[in-house]
Amino acid sequence: MRAIVQRTTRSTVVINNEVTAAIDEGLMVLLGIKSGDTENEARYIIDKLINLRIFPDEAGKMNLSLLDIKGELLLVSQFTLYGDVRKGRRPSFTEAELPDIAEHLFNYCVNYAKLCGVKTEVGIFGADMKINIVNDGPCTILLDSEKIF
């Protein structure tokens, strides 16, 4: 799994000109699921997300996690994170998981985050979404479970 993590002061998902999900201070995460990913990778990514110490403490140091600040999480499925453009000019998505399996793992991630006590909002799997992000910092982190498993 790959995750693009953005610390945000506000983020929304808009579908057909309607806000369908919104968070205030927290993390906006684009989540890509690779063929062969399992619930192990899902738990790893969510545990890493909610415990990343990227929020400032009283001294302004990145020392607090999403859990510490009681922040919110916006998860958006993003198969294009596995786009391969090494050959040609059009991305190949052969490494991305099949939609049915990816949707199951995405929902697992959402439910696991909620079980960990994080207020979690989601994009609509497979929908054409407009994502509005007020990136705080800016602070953007790339996570990749393949580097671990």
Catalytic site residues?
Answer: 78-80
DSSP state, residue 128: -
Q: For residue 58, how many C-alpha atoms fall within 13 Å in the half-sphere facing its CB? A: 0
Residue whose token pair is 């993003």: 78
User: How many whole angstroms separate alpha carbon 26 and alpha carbon 8?
Assistant: 5
User: How many whole angstroms separate alpha carbon 104 and alpha carbon 108?
Assistant: 6
